[in-house]
């Protein structure tokens, strides 16, 4: 990536700019969602749901495994209690992701955005949002979500309407787009940090074992994700705690000044940066700008320092 | 008919509540080092667990999924670009489908 384009982009990133970058980064998610939700639409049709019902479901839930569970429950005519408990279990990982993403929010952000961002929490949108350097601009998440959910809803409706018309090779090819994206998020940090590389390898191996070992084989994929995430990330946090930020008490958003924390941020940020989004820059003073979404006061501050 | 919409409403509200609760109640930076570290590692573990072995069954040929996994790993290691890696995986699946 040329430093020239970075400096151009870094001068000002407005809410609209973040939204646009989000929409761009949402494209691979949209493709993957389209393929997955197409299958979802076919499944919905099989239990007697129509296109409108399927559309409402996809728009309000935006949860792959959760929706497959929902379709099954509706098909089986399940009771309310069962619907609630099953939804809680299958979607519990979103709770962890929400917890994680709260730490990326600017305390000065309009608190109503919390309601909006909560809607956007899916594995993929979370993955992109959490890997932004510094504070998360809500409009970045909204941009990703708009494109992704559009693909999700359109795919669902088409699945209901045209059923099995999509050629197999198309759905096959689209089906792996999301996994490619996951790899692009977790591998570049693993390249720099061997502990993360080990973590990724152990996670994949454990996940694989859970699908073949006798007793645990029956565990659903949603539950498998929760159990392995809790156990592996929990142990990793004991073995290798991330450096604590000594000055984190002053909540003025200048954590970029602390090199210990910076090293870790960089790892998590890298996939987004190398994706050509020019979100980040290696100099701390520019980072200050990106943390202020309205931008203006940060620029002034910077000028004042000179 | 109405029962389907009521079911959808119940489950959609449940799912939204799961996502919303942390945003409502977790307003301050987390001080606990273990919990901070835990949340830092969560996305890596979650995404790794979701990718493998699911990628093998994402297509109707495990071979194509496996090839996509390897190509994706290599491409992510070399370039790390979201879109490039995703497209690479798609193309590899397409090519494997043509050959076999």
Cis peptide before B53 (omega within 30 of 0): yes
Interface test with B, best of A127, A179, A200 (most B CBs within 10 A): A179
Q: Kindly state the tokens that stand for A192.
A: 């720099």
Query: How far does A203 lie from chain B, in Å, by closest CA?
Result: 6
Q: Per the CB < 8 Å rule, is B97 touching A207?
A: no
Domain interval for residue B78: 2-99
- pLDDT the model gives residue A244: 55
Query: Which residues on chain A are in Cβ contact (under 8 Å) with B55?
Result: 176, 179
Span A143-158, mean pLDDT? 93
Q: Kindly state the tokens that stand for A169.
A: 């090779």
Global pTM? 0.64
- pLDDT the model gives residue A117: 94
Span B57-71, mean pLDDT? 91
pLDDT band at A184, cuts 50/70/90? confident
Q: Per the CB < 8 Å rule, is A270 touching B10?
A: no
Q: Kindly state the tokens that stand for A17.
A: 């700019």
Tell me how far CA of residue A299 lies from CA of A100, A278, B20, in angstroms: 29, 18, 33
* Nearest CB neighbour to B19, from listed A80, A121, A270: A121
Q: Are B82 and A185 in contact (CB under 8 A)?
A: yes
Task: Indicate whether A248 pLDDT > 70.
Answer: no
Query: Which residues on chain B are in Cβ contact (under 8 Å) with A175?
Result: 58-59, 93
Task: Indicate whether A251 pLDDT > 70.
Answer: no
> Nearest 5°: CA angle at A95, between B10 and B8?
15
Query: How far does A13 lie from chain B, in Å, by closest CA?
Result: 21
High-pLDDT (> 70) share of chain B, %: 99
Query: Which residues on chain B are in Cβ contact (under 8 Å) with A278?
Result: none
Indicate the range of A81-90, A109-118, A152-161, B43-52 predicted with least confidence. A81-90
- pLDDT the model gives residue A262: 40
Q: Does B99 touch chain A (CB under 8 A)?
A: no
Query: Regarding predicted confidence, which is higher, A91 or A57?
Result: A57
Q: Kindly state the tokens that stand for A298.
A: 């940060």
Q: Per the CB < 8 Å rule, is A173 touching B41?
A: no
How many domains would you assign to chain B?
A: 1
* Nearest CB neighbour to A203, from listed B35, B48, B83: B48
- pLDDT the model gives residue A42: 79
pLDDT band at A143, cuts 50/70/90? very high
High-pLDDT (> 90) share of chain A, %: 27
Q: How much is the ipTM here?
A: 0.85
Q: Per the CB < 8 Å rule, is A117 touching B46?
A: no
pLDDT band at B13, cuts 50/70/90? very high
Over the range B7-21, which residues count as b (16 or more CB within 10 Å of their CB) and which as e?
Answer: bbebbbebbbbbbbe
The winner for highest mean pLDDT among A73-87, A103-117, A177-191, B9-23 is: B9-23
Query: Regarding predicted confidence, which is higher, B56 or A244?
Result: B56
Of residues A179, A180, A159, A160, the one with CA closest to residue A34 = A159
pLDDT band at A127, cuts 50/70/90? confident
High-pLDDT (> 70) share of chain A, %: 74
Query: Regarding predicted confidence, which is higher, A55 or A5?
Result: A55
- DSSP-assigned letters across all residues of chain B: -HHHHHHHHHHHHHHHHHHHHHHHH--S----HHHHHHHHHHHHHHHHHHHTTGGGGSSS-HHHHHHHHHHHHHHHHHT--HHHHHHHHHHHHHHHHHH-
- pLDDT the model gives residue A12: 62
Query: Which residues on chain A are in Cβ contact (under 8 Å) with B47?
Result: 123, 127, 182, 185-186
- What angle in degrees, to the nearest 10, is found between the helix axes of A296-305 and A284-291? 150
Interface test with A, best of B1, B15, B17 (most A CBs within 10 A): B15
- pLDDT the model gives residue A193: 93
Indicate the range of A130-139, A264-273, B56-65, B88-97 predicted with least confidence. A264-273
- pLDDT the model gives residue A87: 83
- pLDDT the model gives residue B81: 74
Query: Regarding predicted confidence, which is higher, A21 or A300?
Result: A21
Query: Which residues on chain B are in Cβ contact (under 8 Å) with A116?
Result: none
Q: Kindly state the tokens that stand for A141.
A: 């998440």
The winner for highest mean pLDDT among A31-40, A80-89, A249-258, B84-93 is: B84-93
Interface test with B, best of A164, A184, A197, A274 (most B CBs within 10 A): A184
């Amino acid at each position: 990536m040329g430093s020239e384009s970075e400096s151009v982009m870094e001068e000002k990133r407005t809410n609209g700019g973040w939204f646009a970058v989000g929409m761009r980064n949402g494209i691979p998610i949209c493709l993957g969602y389209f393929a997955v939700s197409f299958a979802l639409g076919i499944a919905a049709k099989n239990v007697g749901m129509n296109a409108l019902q399927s559309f409402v479901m996809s728009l309000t839930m935006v949860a792959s495994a959760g929706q497959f569970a929902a379709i099954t429950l509706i098909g089986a005519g399940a009771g309310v209690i069962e619907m609630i408990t099953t939804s809680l279990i299958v979607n519990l990982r979103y709770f962890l992701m929400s917890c994680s993403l709260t730490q990326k929010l600017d305390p000065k952000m309009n608190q109503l955005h919390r309601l909006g961002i909560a809607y956007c929490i899916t594995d993929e949108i979370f993955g992109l949002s959490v890997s932004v350097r510094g504070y998360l601009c809500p409009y970045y998440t909204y941009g990703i979500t708009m494109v992704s959910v559009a693909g999700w809803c359109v795919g669902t409706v088409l699945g209901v309407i045209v059923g099995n018309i999509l050629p197999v090779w198309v759905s096959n090819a689209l089906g792996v787009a999301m996994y490619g994206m996951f790899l692009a998020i977790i591998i570049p940090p693993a390249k720099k940090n061997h502990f993360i590389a080990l973590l990724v390898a152990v996670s994949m191996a454990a996940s694989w074992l859970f699908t073949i070992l006798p007793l645990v084989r029956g565990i659903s994929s949603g539950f498998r994700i929760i159990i392995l995430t809790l156990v592996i990330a929990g142990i990793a946090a004991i073995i290798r705690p991330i450096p604590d930020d000594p000055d984190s008490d002053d909540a003025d958003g200048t954590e970029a000044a602390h090199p210990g924390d910076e090293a870790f941020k960089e790892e998590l940020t890298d996939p987004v940066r190398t994706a050509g989004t020019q979100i980040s820059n290696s100099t701390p003073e520019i980072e200050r700008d990106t943390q202020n979404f309205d931008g203006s006061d940060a620029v002034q501050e910077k000028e004042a320092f000179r | 008919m109405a029962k389907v919409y009521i079911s959808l409403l119940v489950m959609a509200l449940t799912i939204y509540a799961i996502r919303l609760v942390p945003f409502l109640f977790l307003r301050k930076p987390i001080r606990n080092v273990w919990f901070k570290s835990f949340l830092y590692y969560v996305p890596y573990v979650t995404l790794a667990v979701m990718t493998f072995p699911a990628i093998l069954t994402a297509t109707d040929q495990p071979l194509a999924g496996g090839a996509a996994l390897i190509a994706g790993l290599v491409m992510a290691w070399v370039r790390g670009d979201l879109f490039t890696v995703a497209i690479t995986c798609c193309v590899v699946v397409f090519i494997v489908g043509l050959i076999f």
